[in-house]
Chains A and B, each alone.
Chain A
Amino acid sequence: MAVSCGGVRLEGDEQVYARVRAGERTAMAMLVERYHGPLLKFLTRMTGLPQTAEDLVQDTFIRVLRYRGVSPRCFRPWIYQIARNLARDTFRSAARHLETEYPSDEDQGDEWMADPVDTESMMLQTSNRLQVNALLQGLPASQREVIVLRFYQELSLEEISTITSAPLGTVKSRLFHGLRRARQILEQEEMRRDE
């Protein structure tokens, strides 16, 4: 699938990846150029830990380079899926090490996502980053993930479905409920501020 944006991008990700698998350095540089930023931002938003996110990005690319199976039909959701799973696995093993029990609700296994920010009010945060983060932390992890992937990474719902291994209907439902809840939180905070 070739994407053409002003004639700059001649090759789709799948073709570039095929060249990476053939050992081409320039292809690897292209892939890094395309995905280093987006993956870093995604993982930083999800984990809240910039340094950890950097390490996870590197691990993601290493996984991609080491992969020996059939090439993915769609590269973009595949690389995000690897990144997401790596982050989840990293925090799971850290949690096991600390002998933490998993919660039994639908957020089981999502403790790899950033902890809620310790603040009374979202609007007291001094930076936009922290304010947005505080709002997102008010959502269940699965809804937060879908909103981040949809809004910031601009992935389609079908791609998000692949990444999260959830049916499309479930992804839509999470997005819907997540947006409704996020809007409510924002309105409540704004009312509190006005008071």
Chain B
Amino acid sequence: MNNPINKLVNGLDEDQRQSLGDLSRLAHFLETDKLPGPGKEESARLLEALEPYLPDATAPRTRPPANWLRLARSQFVLFEGSFWLSGALILLLGLLMAAVNGRELLPLAFVLLSPLLAAAGVAYAFRPETRTLGELERLTATRPVELLYTRLALVLAFNLLTSVLLLLLIWLEGSQVVLWRLVLVWLGPMLALTGLALFTTIRWGALVGTLLPLGLWGSLVLLGWREAFYHIAEGMTLTSWLLVEVSYSSPVLMGSLMASLVGMGLLILAGRSVTRGWQSWS
């Protein structure tokens, strides 16, 4: 828009422009007024005067709600196809089990494997491969705790989705297990192992973050197996025993609720740990 006449008439209606006639002399006349701009020193003085008014940048800002979604979406780049494929395979396995003997096998598999998968997902999301990326992430205005919980939420959401679909299969199979109790018995270990995986991954790396929950859960399963074998000796099947324990045992339910609390505590501790780390040197 360098043409001086256009600068004058741009925006006016056509009949207004026509009515004004030839404005070239006016435009050129107005152009002769060349006001000088401020010099570098004047701008520097202005900047110095404005310095005290610059907002305080030292305090972290809370993220607006709309940005959380954007942050969550951005995390998808870190989850390779293999992650989503593994979830699909688990569902496929569930379908196969349902085809073979869904009533008994599915709840067993669900209780035993689901918490492990959540922990594995956490270890995957924070795997060593992303360490350089971790440094670059650290050097942004996004607080690590925001990143941590967003990424964790994605892992848990995916785990929840596969679990809900498996639960649906269990329900469709007409299993005798009490569903709401099954959910609680699943939730406790899932949260506990996820919290443990996250906390240990942050503190000691992904290897410890994988092995510790795996080891702990494996030990608990073995202890449970011992108990199960005792009842099998009395004539119950393994899966029947599990169904009874899940559906009627108060200690199992209480234990699961305790595990949920421990898991949530570990998740909060993990968040505090990264916040402390971010507010100091690496």
Contact = CB atoms under 8 A, between A and B. Distances in A.
Interface of A: 20-25, 28-29, 32-33, 36-37, 40-41, 44-45, 54, 57-58, 61-62, 65-66, 128-129, 131-133, 135, 147, 150-152, 154, 156-157, 172, 175-176, 179-180, 182-183, 186, 190
Contact of B55 (A23, A58, A176): A23
Nearest to B43: A36
A179 B55 contact: no
Contacts of A58: 46, 49-50
A65 B54 contact: yes
Given A131-B32, A182-B26, A172 B16 contact: yes
Interface residues of B, number: 39
Contacts of B85: none
A131 B32 CA distance: 9
Given A62-B53, A128-B32, A133-B33, A154 B7 contact: yes
Do most interface residues of chain A lie in helix, strand or loop, or is the interface mixed? helix
A147 B172 CA distance: 76
A41 B35 CA distance: 7
5 contacts: A23-B54, A25-B54, A62-B50, A156-B11, A179-B9
A58 B34 CA distance: 22
Interface stretch (B17-25, B65-73, B98-106, B211-219): B17-25
Contacts of B37: 36-37, 40-41
B3 to A, nearest CB: 12
Contacts of B26: 179, 182-183, 186
